[in-house]
Amino acid sequence: RKFTGREHLIDSVKRLCKPNGHNRIALHGLGGSGKTQIALEYVYQCASESNCNIFWVQGSGVLQYREGYRAIAQRIRIPLASAETEEEGFLLSIKRWFEGPESGDWIVVIDNADNDEDFAGNKSPIAKFVPQGPR
């Protein structure tokens, strides 16, 4: 497996990531410009260099984001009962897990996040469920 042609972008992302800190990096550009491949290569390299959990969710809408969080809940063994009755509570419980000490080191890739309104401010439909904190 060989990733070629965008090594300088991977290096830029690595430089932006501060050890022991909470980092948010947005790869933006036209559809088909290679953002997903760059993110994939970055997390592949990080996973091979550290003991970091990688999570990938779709940001193309709240329903897709919720499905990504359902998959995360299954992987980390958080009960899904609340997911059936109260969507916001479920999404917040996964966000809190990420922000807590039991989550360890992690990277969340939010792919296909094309609608700015879903991510503007901390109260928008998806942004309010994106993990934050000192890590």
For 110-125, what is each residue's pLDDT tens digit?
999 888 888 887 778 8
How far is the C-alpha of 37 from the C-alpha of 32, rounded, in Å? 10
CB 109 within 8 A of CB 54: yes
Residue 32: inside a domain:
yes
Provide, rounded to the nearest whole percent, the portion of the chain with pLDDT above 70.
86
Residue 74, phi then psi, degrees to nearest 5: -65, -40
How far is the C-alpha of 70 from the C-alpha of 87, rounded, in Å? 10
- Ranges 72-86, 90-104, 111-125: which has the least confidence: 72-86
Reply yes or no on whether the pLDDT at 56 is more than 90. Answer: yes
> Domain span at residue 98?
52-130
Q: What is the mean pLDDT of the chain?
A: 83
Say what the pLDDT of residue 65 is. 94
Cα-atom radius of gyration of the chain, to the nearest Å? Answer: 15
Say what the pLDDT of residue 82 is. 47
For the beta carbon of residue 86, count every other beta carbon within 10 angstroms: 12
- Ranges 3-12, 92-101, 108-117, 121-130: which has the least confidence: 3-12
What is the pTM (predicted TM-score) of this model?
0.81
Reply yes or no on whether the pLDDT at 41 is more than 60. Answer: yes
CB 127 within 8 A of CB 119: yes
Q: Which of 72, 43, 45, 46 is nearest to 57 (CA)?
A: 72
Residue 24, phi then psi, degrees to nearest 5: -120, 125
Domain ends where: 10, 27, 50? 50
Asked if residue 79 and residue 58 are part of one domain, the reply reads yes
CB 105 within 8 A of CB 128: no
Residue 111: inside a domain:
yes
CB 74 within 8 A of CB 80: yes
Domain total of the chain: 2
Residue 21: inside a domain:
yes
